[in-house]
Amino acid sequence: MTPEESIPKKNILHTISTAFKEMKETFVLLGRSPRALWGVNIPYIIEGLVYFGILTILGKYCAENVGLSDPQSGYVYSAVTGGITFAMLLLGGVSDKIGVRVSLALSLGVMMVGRILVALSGTLHLGRGVGSMAFFIMSFGLLLMVSGYGFYMPAAYAGVKRYTNPRTAAVGYGLIYGLMNIGAFFSGFISPLTRQRFEKILPPNGLSAVFWLYSGFTLIATLLTLVIITRRADRDAVTQVKKETASMDSGHENKKETATENAPRGPKVNNLPLIILIALTMAAIGVMWLIKAGRVALPLPLVYVVAAVFFIAAIIEFLRRRPDHPFRDKKFVFFIFILIPVQTLFAHNWLTIPYYLDRAFAGTSVSKYFEFFSNLNPILIFFLSPLIAALTAKANIYRMMIIGTFVMALPTFLLAVGPNVELFLLYILLMSIGEAMWQPRFLQWIAEIAPPGKTGMYMGIGQFPWFLTKVITGFYSGYFVARHIPRPGTGLPLNTGRMWLIYSFIAIVSPLTLVMARKWMGGSMTRKG
């Protein structure tokens, strides 16, 4: 090895060593954080367990307990996951008005009631299918769960901001994301054990018992929030953080915060036309549901066109009254929306993989413990994200986006071979590495290019394509599941290879397009303003 070849290795080792040293020091400081911060973090682990645990079993529950078809179950997924993102846009400011402590406890309480209703829908004999009372009760329960989650996560992040100082804030945000992934991983153990234990007591599959257990966990999280984040603990935490912040050389952070607070506000906008167009769009989507359920006799393509027209009109109306909105930046819009194809793989973690493991590996331990295998990604992300972040801290963001999306998309072709445990595990590993490479850098890029005082706006807009991804993928995933991974006993053949091949071609669109657009994007990967 030449001296020149040894330099990169030394730099990489030095970067990793420095990163881990700084991380250790920050975690020591974080360990001395106010008690109130742990009132956010500990319930967040429980909520991560419950939320991702529900996503893993919701499709099976809809199909086997409530009697929905696979496509209808996909629509439920779209409503739940897309609804949560939409609810965050509507309810994200609740914690600013009623406080972090009350917001966290109230949102958890609302979600607990919703999960109890979902458990009841499968416990009581209330009929089956879209027109049944079971479906109505489940839907109302899910609506409450979506509404509660709409201000739970913003309140949790507001709590991290409130109870950390400028030195510990970044790790505080990373920790809460990691804790949710840890919770998701443990749901893979709890769910199958509970389901199999109560299979005969709560037929047909014991999933109602899992929802009852998750309701109990949510109650525990609610009580922990109230017990740990008392009014006194909240006051003490704020006082401690102020003292810590004052003792630091935080001029940069203070200037940035002041710039954000003093950012000029635009003129008041009349949102009534926008609200009407959004309501018409949602109504058209509701009509689509009724048509697919056989309740309304209208041409489905025509309703699709009407919904699209209303949606486009809503976008035009929105941007027309907001000349400085990020959506007027063509390169910004291109970049965030071109990631939708590869982001569909995130959605398939709960829309497709649980069905795939349960049905394609029927009779094996993979099917018996499908919840565990469905939740390997979160634990991998928990360990991979900080390591890859240290290795690639100085790498070009756009190049990392290209490499990361390629690494995430290409392994999907492995599943096109057909059901194979080893290939599935390899897919999960490589896909998780790719996710850890590009997803954090994407959020970093949005924060860095945002003009002063508009970081929050840009971060919020950056999540909009994720909302569309969850809604769109949920609308077609049920069809693919029914066609390529049919329920046992239907007599239809498995054809999982073709399904994953199609999904592979969808996902690969993102990195290929990023490569083709790299010259056009040019200097747009730098800070604005």
**Between residues 94 and 111, which one has the greater pLDDT?**
111
Residue 523: which of 394, 340, 398, 339 has the closest Cα? Answer: 398
Residue 395 is classified by DSSP as S
Per-residue pLDDT averaged across 15-22, rounded? 60
pLDDT at 146: 93
Categorize the per-residue pLDDT at 259 as very low, low, confident or very high, splitting at 50, 70 and 90. Answer: very low
Q: How far apart, in Å, are the Cα atoms of 184 and each of 18, 79, 191, 285, 404? A: 30, 21, 11, 31, 23
Contact 182, 382 (CB under 8 A): yes
Per-residue pLDDT averaged across 331-352, rounded? 90
DSSP string, 118-166: HHHHHHS----STTSHHHHHHHHHHHHHHHHHHHHHHHHHHHHHHH--T
Sign of CA dihedral 49, 51, 56, 57: positive
Q: Report how many helices (DSSP H) and strands (DSSP E) the chain contains, helices first.
A: 24, 0
Residue 443 confidence (pLDDT) above 80 = no
Residue 480: which of 356, 341, 304, 349 has the closest Cα? Answer: 356
Q: Residue 362: left if φ>0, alpha if ψ -120 to 50, beta else—which one?
A: beta
Categorize the per-residue pLDDT at 387 as very low, low, confident or very high, splitting at 50, 70 and 90. Answer: confident
The two structure tokens encoding residue 166: 């400028």
Residue 21 confidence (pLDDT) above 70 = no
The two structure tokens encoding residue 106: 């109230």
Residue 468: which of 377, 360, 338 has the closest Cα? Answer: 338
Residue 187: count of CB within 10 angstroms of its CB: 27
Residue 324: which of 461, 448, 443 has the closest Cα? Answer: 461
pLDDT tens digits along 27-76: 565 566 788 988 998 999 999 999 999 999 999 999 999 999 999 999 89
Q: How far is CA 129 from the centre of its chain?
A: 28
pLDDT at 424: 97
Residues in the chain: 529
**Phi and psi angles of residue 66, each rounded to the nearest 5 degrees, phi first:** -100, -15
Q: Would you call 2 helix, strand, or coil by DSSP? A: coil
pLDDT tens digits along 120-159: 999 998 999 988 999 999 999 999 999 999 889 888 888 8
169/162 Cα distance (integer angstroms) = 9
pLDDT at 266: 54
pLDDT at 290: 79
The two structure tokens encoding residue 18: 């420095």
The two structure tokens encoding residue 135: 């479906």
Per-residue pLDDT averaged across 352-377, rounded? 94
Percent of the chain at pLDDT > 70 equals: 82
Contact 108, 221 (CB under 8 A): yes
Q: Which residues contact 200 (CB under 8 A, 6 or more apart)?
A: 206
Residue 1 is classified by DSSP as -
189/195 Cα distance (integer angstroms) = 10
Residue 513: count of CB within 10 angstroms of its CB: 17
Residue 108: which of 149, 55, 157, 161 has the closest Cα? Answer: 149
Return mean pLDDT, the chain. 83
pLDDT tens digits along 514-527: 999 988 887 555 54
What torsion, rounded to 10 degrees, do the Cα atoms 398, 401, 407, 413 define? -110
Sign of CA dihedral 340, 342, 348, 349: negative
522/275 Cα distance (integer angstroms) = 37
pLDDT tens digits along 237-247: 889 888 888 88
**Phi and psi angles of residue 138, each rounded to the nearest 5 degrees, phi first:** -60, -45
pTM score of the predicted model: 0.76
